[in-house]
Amino acid sequence: EAPAGMLVSPAVLGLIVIAIFFIPNVVGNWIVKPAVAAVQPFMYGSPADVDVHVAAWHGHITPELMMTIGIVIAGLILYGLLPKWQGVYRAFPEYLTLNKLYDSAMVFSESGTNRLSRSYMNGQIRSYLIYMFSGIVIIVLGSMIAKDAIHVTMEGTAPIGAVEIGLIVVLVASVVTTLIARKRLTAIIALGAAGYVVALFFVVFKAPDLALTQLVIETVSVALYLLAFYHLPKMSRHDEKRKFRVGNALVAAAVGLMMALLAMSAASQKALPSISQFYKDTVYSEAGGGNIVNVILVDYRGFDTLFEIAVLSIAAIGIIGLIRLRLTRKGDSSEKQ
C-alpha cells in the first residue's frame, strides 16, 4: 500500500467531494456562475444573472440515477455472497482470468507502443518538425474546413504599390536562396536579408517600433547563427533524395497556405469593429497628445512598449558581450605571442 503521505491528496479530494454534496450552491455561486459569466460576457452582465442552480439531487428520477442505484445494489449483493460464487471464478483457467487478461494487455500495449515509437523516432529534429507541422496543418485546416471558416475578402485592405511588390520579390528571393543554398554562410545571409525585408515592411506600414525591434533582433540572430554554425560539422545531403525534398516542400507549402488562410479569414470575419477608430477619437481628449503613434506607444500600450525596450536592451547586451568576447580572445592571443 502507498505510504500515508501519498494518501493525503486523494483524501483531500474525497473530502471536497463530500463537502460539495452538502453545500453545492456555495460552489455554484462562487465558482460556477463567475466562470459562466466570464466565458459568456455578452450574455450575462454579472454572475448573479446566471441562472444556475446546483443540487445534489434535483428531484427527478433519471435513467442515470437508476443505473447508479442498480450498480450499488448489485455490488452489495455480490460482496455479501462472495464466498458462494468465488469458487466459480477460481474454476476458470488462469489465462482467462481478468487479472491475466489485464496484464497481457499491458505487456502487449507496451511492446506495441515501443515498436511504434521506434518506427518514427529516428533522432532527427527535422523529422519531428515535419510530424508537428503536419499535425498542426491537419488540425487547423481540418477545423476551418469543417466549420466553414475559410472566408477571404479584400475589402478594407491597404493598396499594394510598387514598393510592396518589390519587397515581396526580394523576400521570396531571399527565402528561396535560403532553401537552395549549399553553403551555410550563403543561407544565413539570405535568411538575414529576409528578416530585414520584414523590417522594411514594418516601416512601410507605419510601425517604426516594430521595425527597430526587428532590425536589432535580426542583427543579433544572424551573428548568433554565424557563431553557432561555425562550430557545427559540414552539411550532409546524402539522404536528401527526391522523395524527401518533395515531402518537405509539400509540408512547407501546406503550412504557408494554412497561415495565409488563417490570417486572411481572421481579418475578413472580425467579430468586433476595429479599435483604431477609438484611438483616433480619444488620442487628444483622453491621452492629451497630438501624435497618435507616440500616444499609443507610451499611454495605451505602455507595458508592451516597456517589454520591447527590455528586448532591445537584452539584444544590446548580447551584442556588447559578443564584441567584448572577441576582443578578449584577440588580446589573450597577442599576449601569448
Of 196, 224, 223, nearest to 211 by C-alpha is 196
For residue 239, what pLDDT is reported?
56
For residue 72, what pLDDT is reported?
95
Q: How far is CA 17 from the centre of its chain?
A: 33
What is the CA angle 290-205-153, rounded to 5?
A: 115
- 191 contacts 171 by C-beta, under 8 angstroms: no
For residue 326, what pLDDT is reported?
65
258-265: long-range contacts at Cβ-Cβ below 8 A with a sequence spacing of 24 or more? 258/136, 258/137, 258/140, 258/141, 261/141, 261/144, 261/150, 261/152, 262/140, 262/144, 264/152, 265/144, 265/149, 265/150, 265/151, 265/152
pTM confidence score: 0.51
For residue 66, what pLDDT is reported?
92
Distances in Å between the Cα of 220 and the Cα atoms of 72, 112, 177, 232, 322 are 67, 46, 21, 19, 9
In this structure, which amino acid lies at residue 23? I
Would you tell me how many other CB atoms lie within 10 Å of the CB of residue 33? 21
For residue 279, what pLDDT is reported?
83
For residue 237, what pLDDT is reported?
56
Place of cell 468465488: 86
Q: Return d(Cα 186, Cα 177) in angstroms, integer.
A: 8
For residue 3, what pLDDT is reported?
83
For residue 30, what pLDDT is reported?
86
Which grid cell sits at 152? Answer: 477571404
Place of cell 434535483: 58
- 65 contacts 91 by C-beta, under 8 angstroms: no
Q: Return d(Cα 217, Cα 195) in angstroms, integer.
A: 9
Q: Return d(Cα 317, Cα 323) in angstroms, integer.
A: 10
Q: What is the pLDDT along the chain (337 residues), one digit of tens a residue?
A: 778 888 899 999 999 989 888 888 888 888 888 888 888 888 888 888 888 887 777 788 889 889 999 999 999 998 998 888 877 777 777 777 778 888 888 988 888 888 888 887 877 788 888 899 999 999 998 998 888 888 887 776 777 888 888 989 998 999 888 878 877 778 888 888 888 888 888 888 877 777 887 888 777 777 777 777 777 766 555 556 777 778 888 898 899 899 988 888 887 777 777 777 888 888 888 878 778 777 887 888 788 888 888 888 888 888 888 788 766 655 555 545 5
Q: How far is CA 242 from the centre of its chain?
A: 32
Q: Return d(Cα 191, Cα 177) in angstroms, integer.
A: 8
Of 249, 93, 103, 259, nearest to 176 by C-alpha is 249
Which grid cell sits at 35? Answer: 466562470
Q: Biggest alpha carbon distance in the chain?
A: 95
